[in-house]
Structure 1
C-alpha cells in the first residue's frame, strides 16, 4: 500500500522572521475573507446544497454561510456563461475564472477540471480578500495577481495528489480529509508580495553564471541521463536559485516553491551533521541505509509528484505521476524524476556516479558566485527593479525576499519601498499599456507621489524600473536618460537595449 504521508513533506514550520515591518510580503491569512473548494454537482439535490462544500476557510464559519458563499459563486459562473460566445472566448484558458468586486471584498473564482471531459468533474475554487484588512496591511489588491495566486494554490495541490477529479472519484471522504490537511497548512504559510506584479508574473529566480560553468552543468546532467535512462526529467538548483530544468515550464513555479521554501530549508540541519562518506553528497528523501535491497516503503518511500509531460507519441502534455529523487551536495541540488520503480541499488549507483561530479561542479559554482558579474545587481543602487523573461521564466527583482536578505548581509544601500498606490499603478500600467502579445513596448509614468515608473519590453523580455522622488524634479527627458544608463550599466547582459 502506498504511504499517504509521503507527499506531505510540503509543510514546514512558519519562519519566525515573517511578518516584520520590513517584510516584502504579507500572510494571506491576515487579509483573507474566505477560501473554498466546491464541487457543484454534489449539492444539486434540494436540501443537500451544503454537500457541494468540500473545503472552507475559516473553519469556524457556520455551514449556512459556507453554502451561501459557494452557491453565490456557482450562480455567478452559471449566469456569466450565458454571455460567453466563441467570439469572446477564442483562446480558452486552462482555468476559466470570474471576478466579483463588492464594497468590502474582492472575489476571484476559478474552474478546475480535467482536460479530458468527464461528467460531473468541475470544481470551483474561490478566494476573497478583505479591502479594509488589505489597507491596514499596506497591500494593494491586483485582481489578475490574485487570480494567479489562486491557480498556483490548485497547482500545488495537484503537484502532490493529481487532479481533484481523480482523487474524489476514488473516495470522497479521503478527498475531503486531504483538502483539510493540505489547505489547512498551505494557507497558513501562503504569502502575498506587497508588489503584486511578482505574483502576477510568477517567474523563478535564476542564478547568473559564466558560460563555461553552465556548460559543465549541462554536460554533467546529460551524462546522468545517458547513464540512467530511467531518469526522464531533471531540475538543477544552487542554493535556492534555478540553473536548469527539463520539466514543463507550467510546473516550474510550484515545484520550485516546494523545493526552496520547504524541502531544502528543512534539510539544512542534517547537512551540518558529520558523515563517514567519502563524498559530501546525499539524498534528501528516501532510505538512510542504501546497503540493503529491501523495497522502499512507508517513511523510506520517495516523494511522488504529478507533472505535465508528453510521451513520444503524444502531441499534448498530460499529467503523469513521477517519483522524485533529490540529491544534494555543497549547496547544489539535482532533482531527478522517474516513472518506474526506484530501488536502493539505483540510488547507490546514482550516488556513486553523480557524487564526485557534483562536488566539482558545485565547487566551481561556489567560486563564481562571488564574482563581479554575479554580484552586479547586489550592489547599492537608488532604484527598484523587476526583470522577467517569459520564455525561460527567469525573474529577478529588488523586491524578492532573497534579494532583501542579500542586501542586508552585504550592507547594500537601497531606496525606500514604494507606497501601495505606486505598487498598484505599476500593475495597472503594465496591464493597460503594454500588450502581452507585443514583443516590444515602452511606457513612462509619474505617480502622484512623485515616483517614476519605467516599463520597457524588448523581445518579450520585460524590465520595470521604479525611481523614487528626488529633490531636483527631473523631466521626462532626464528619466529617459537615467533609464538608458541603468540598462546599459546593469542589465545589458540580460536585456538587449
Structure 2
C-alpha cells in the first residue's frame, strides 16, 4: 500500500497541474506532416528495424516531439506519446543540459560515426559490468489480452525511435550493442532528411515563419485519430509557453465543456 501511494505521488508530480489546459482535456497526439518521399523513407526504416530484430514487435518514430509513424493502435500510442513528451524526454534532455549524459554538440559515446544514444537502456555500452540500465515495461492492449513490452527508446539529435520489445525476453547488453551499431548511422541520416523537409515547410507562405502575433489562433482535435494541433501553444512540453492569456485558455475549456 505504501509503495502504491509513492507511485501515485510520483505520477501526480509529473502532471504539472498549474499548466493544465484544453490540451490536457483532449490528450491528443501531435503529428508531423511530411512529403511522401520522406515519410516512405521513415516507414521503410522502421519496417527494416522490425525485420532485422525479431524481438522488436512494434515501433514508433517521433521528430521534435511530433509523431511521424506508430505501429500501435491510436489509443495505446496516445498513452505512450503523453509519457514520452511530458515525462521521459524532458527529463532526459534536462540531464543532457546538466552534463550528466552527453553534450548536445558531441558525438555518441557509443560510436564516433553517429549521434545516437539510448534514452532507456545502458548509459555506457562499454561498461565492463554489462548493465542494461533502466528499461520500463509497458502494457499494450490487443484483441485478446494485454501484452507487456520492454520500451527501448533510442534518440539521435531531434529524432526519437521507440522499440517495443517482447516483454518475456531477458534483455542483454549484446542486443543494445547491435541496436546501436544498426540504428545510430541510419537514424542520424534520416534526421537530416526530415529536418530538411521541415525547413522547406517552414519557409513556405503557410509555414511557421509568419509572426506568431499575426497568425490565426486555433486549437484542433480530431477524435477519430486523436490528432491535435495548436497555434496557441508554442511547444508540447506543458510549461505554460502559450501565445494567449490565461483567460483565453479558460474560455476555450469552458466552450469545450459546454459543447459536451
Q: Return the TM-score normalized by structure 2.
A: 0.79
Q: Which 4+ stretches in 1 moved above 6 angstroms?
A: 292-295
1:232-262 CA-partner distances (Å, limit 9, x unpaired)? 0111111222111112322223222221222
Shift of 1:284: 1.6
CA distance 1:392–1:317, shift in 2 (3 Å): farther
Aligned residue number for residue 302 of structure 1: 135
Distance 2:194 2:67 in 1: 12
> Which of 20, 23, 45 is 1:198 aligned to?
23
Structure with the higher strand share, 1 or 2? 1
Match in the other structure for 1:179: 4
CA RMSD of aligned residues (A): 3.1
The equivalent residue for 2:120 is 285
Alignment of 1:473-484 (within 5 A): none
Output the TM-score relative to the length of structure 1: 0.44
- Retained in 2: the 8 A contact 1:234–1:245? yes
State yes or no: 1:227 paired with 2:52. yes
1:81-480 equivalences under 5 Å are: 176-192=1-17, 196-268=21-93, 269=96, 270-272=101-103, 274=106, 275=108, 277=111, 278-291=113-126, 296=131, 300-308=133-141, 310=142, 316-339=143-166, 340-372=169-201, 376=206, 378=208, 379-380=210-211, 381=214, 383-402=216-235, 418-419=247-248, 422-431=251-260
Q: Is the 8 A contact 2:122 2:131 kept in 1?
A: yes
Q: 1:220 to 1:192 in 2, by over 3 A?
A: same
Counterpart Cα distance in 2 of 1:307 and 1:242: 18
Asked if the contact 1:293/1:343 (under 8 Å) is kept, the reply is no
Could you tell me how far 1:185 is from its partner in structure 2? 2.3
- Which structure has the higher relative contact order (CA within 8 Å, separation 6+)? 2
Greater C-alpha Rg: 1
Structure 2 counterpart SS, 1:338: strand
